Chains A and B, each alone.
Chain A
């Protein structure tokens, strides 16, 4: 009998553990004799540390040590210079760590950290980001390995010749990931100091192990990193972060296990942010709506520590059939914290700008915005010319319009002092895949156990991998257990770029298929130790596909604008996605809906403000950094179309963790324009800006 488990709605395997508090997160691990660390953040926007006086801190009860740039262990090399903490006196931005207090309790560590007296030589700083900053330059690459600059034909001539043109500038504010669980790590060396074990809140224990091995001069097999449960990441736990380096340093320095749980207020400066982006988008079209020219010019900031370029012009290389185009990035290095990955890096801000501009073009042409997008559907990927492995954007737009009642909602309405309008935007996100390994065991008792160093950051990965395994083995789901989140398991890629399920699932599928084949060739009971099979997808998943592979989607928003207060609220949000085969409707829906909620935040409430005088982000807690609360979250619907794509992986799935945020902000912004007749080109749409544009 064939058990159908893939594609069925299954709740999270670890749900009971999480609900009862049995699940152990990185900071929950308390090895015997565990001490606690608290970092000291720089209080000047730029400069250097001239002295650290730890005497008062060390005199406090329970204080074990204060690490400073003078006495901290020297580190080996790392790809990421933000991990080179306490190595020199430089302060590249406010909030950079300049010392670390270690004590018997978290309270004592915090008190010690605040008693450390740091003296600085302050230097002039520049945190003023603007498009015409003289320091802006075109980098070689944007994030994700994308070329910074691409050009086809003669976009300037095509624009000049176009029957209809739009030329618009958009701004997206800095944003922070702020997962529910702040970054934390517990580090312990074995008695001989030869083996390091670290519990870390990370999206990938493998990269953490590699970084720690290099930084502390150890072979990787003497480092174990465990990330069994992670309370959200959204990209800011995608690479190793300074907290884990500091925890290991403190453990080496004191000879004690050490837990370091970052306070929420430190997160804005040390674990990355989505850099602000300024966009200029120009579109040229014939009067029937056919695009003839597209330019998307992005300017963003990075820190002086590391170049990170939000790849926000990249979606223009994928979305629409345009013969003449230019997509390009410029970046300016400022004395700001280092930006990094945040859910749908590139696509989220880039599609806000591109899809807002498409709406402006639809207005200028007098063509329905759904129709305008349909008319510009490309036959092959515009930038590369490669065929799409599957592309059902038009189907998403059509089905979304149908479900939303788009045609009947195209007249803006007024309800008293409230203006109501609707908007649409498209979404795209690439299919990313990385080689991984996995091992499957048939146990003597008839059950199966699958091992893969995947990371479940709350997405339901553990659950879906069990479904993949049960499907490949042809057994019921409850016959399968899955172990993830430990570097002792077969190595696998990190949870990022919506690549996890496809990458890990491929290896799990192959291991289970190999095990099934081995078992099929056997007769009689299994040996006492059971049977095992392994898989490595380096040869399959690692190959470059001849296809352009992307998920697509369409977002529809129904928005209310209060003309008295300038408050914008979303009444209804609907998304339709074409993302290959949906492997678990329960966990998939929570990814789509969760990302759409994050998109509501990007559109309406979330922003981080750089203090021009002090150089830091002012919003440092969840009272001032406004993620949407329940009252902001409307009726949200997520749907998907049946998409069969043979060019992906054995499951036929595309990543679904990020695409839900991609078109949300543009759909809301376009609905604002529909409701009010005014266009607001800066996010978020807060009352101050709204009142200004309505005045």
Chain B
């Protein structure tokens, strides 16, 4: 077998130092994705720096009304947390739509953000993949790409980001707190993941050796309602063909504030700013919702076998925003 060092870090600085000492090291959280990738030969770390026991666990209520979620908090614990469920149901729903109960019990918040694409070419070391091995080409483009990106993809890579949670975080205007050799910094969740461009090997803006330490959720807006909806090939334990996270606030029947993010369409959670801009100040009628969503999806460039995603994403977004509008209005929600 391929030998690697194992370091259990007692503190953040120790973890960062251990990572720096071992070029080619990887941080280990719940291991639900990294260990799989090691078995597949996609990842061959020289060292695993285990940060799962760092005191980065738990959900903290902030004076602002926000929440800070430690990066080592398990997905199942975040989903079940009463404050998360009450203030940001979209996040709880997104987490529960992902993986399986067993995986959610192991997977950490930080690890969920940093999971890699499930593109079958990325996972098969005998096939070309620019993300896994830059310069080898993209096997999916001419191969099988029913599950792949329709927005923001590049010639080099058409992979999608698999996380459900990250889609909700993008819609919640969350911040990601990072810590590394240069100290601490904060990045907006919607800007944490990258588009592939000509560097598809780089999933995020994370710098070498940096650790995700926490996610900070702002206080919910006045009267805000939120919802996550995911379409998939089977009822559980399947990645999104497309998904939508949305947060809506109405004022006298008009949109005061809306945030909308798509999953399953792009290399990162796709924050629908064009649609949001069109909707602010508008009455959320079915026609207005569809026009806004279609404007957002107009730049989509599907390939041979994934054109259905555009219609699917539009349907999902119109449905979710319509349901939220009915609820925000105080009218009974259409089931």
Contacts and interface: CB of A to CB of B under 8 A. Distances in A.
Interface of A: 41, 43, 105, 107-108, 110-111, 114, 415-417, 563-567, 569, 604-605, 609, 611-614, 618-620, 623-624, 626, 628-632, 686-688, 691-692, 695
A207 B142 CA distance: 42
A688 B308 CA distance: 5
B235 A687 contact: no
Contacts of A567: 231-232, 235
B8 interface: no
B2 interface: yes
B248 to A, nearest CB: 17
Given A108-B1, A565-B315, A632 B120 contact: no
A107 B143 contact: no
A565 B316 contact: yes
Contact of A612 (B100, B127, B143, B232): B143
Contact of B2 (A105, A111, A563): A111
A632 B319 contact: no
Given A609-B144, A614-B143, A624-B120, A565 B312 contact: yes
A687 B233 contact: yes
B118 interface: yes
Interface string B286-312: 000000000000000000011010011
21 contacts: A105-B1, A107-B1, A114-B41, A563-B315, A565-B229, A609-B146, A611-B143, A613-B139, A619-B120, A623-B239, A626-B233, A629-B234, A630-B236, A631-B235, A686-B233, A687-B231, A687-B232, A687-B241, A688-B146, A688-B241, A691-B312
Contacts of A687: 231-233, 241, 308, 312
Interface string B135-159: 0000100111010000000000000
B32 to A, nearest CB: 11
Interface in B154-202: none
B86 interface: no
Contact of B312 (A110, A415, A566, A614): A566
Q: What is the interface of chain B mostly: helix, strand, loop, or mixed?
A: loop
Nearest to A95: B126
Given A564-B316, A688-B146, A688-B241, A626 B118 contact: no
Counting chain A CB atoms within 10 Å of each CB, the highest count among B120, B124, B146 belongs to B120
Interface of B: 1-2, 41, 100, 118, 120, 124-127, 139, 142-144, 146, 229, 231-239, 241, 305-306, 308, 311-312, 315-316, 319, 334-335
A515 to B, nearest CB: 49
A567 B319 CA distance: 14
A465 B224 CA distance: 64
A416 B334 contact: yes
A673 to B, nearest CB: 20
B85 to A, nearest CB: 20
**Interface of A: prevailing SS:** loop
A691 B308 contact: yes
Nearest to A605: B234
Nearest to A60: B1
A195 B274 CA distance: 74
Contacts of A416: 334-335
Given A43-B126, A604-B234, A605-B233, A564 B1 contact: no
Nearest to A630: B236
Contacts of B118: 623-624
Given A609-B144, A618-B120, A687-B241, A695 B311 contact: yes
A255 to B, nearest CB: 23
Contact of A566 (B125, B146, B231, B239): B231
Contacts of B1: 105, 107-108, 110-111
Contacts of B305: 688
A631 B234 contact: yes
Contact of A623 (B124, B229, B237, B308): B237
Contacts of B229: 565
Nearest to B237: A629
Interface centre among B143, B315, B334, by most chain A C-beta atoms within 10 angstroms, is B315
A695 B315 CA distance: 11
Contacts of B306: 688
Contacts of B308: 566, 687-688, 691-692
Nearest to B127: A614
A107, A611, A620, A686 — most chain B CB neighbours (10 Å) = A611
A41 B125 CA distance: 12
Nearest to B334: A416
Nearest to A417: B319
Contacts of A624: 118, 120
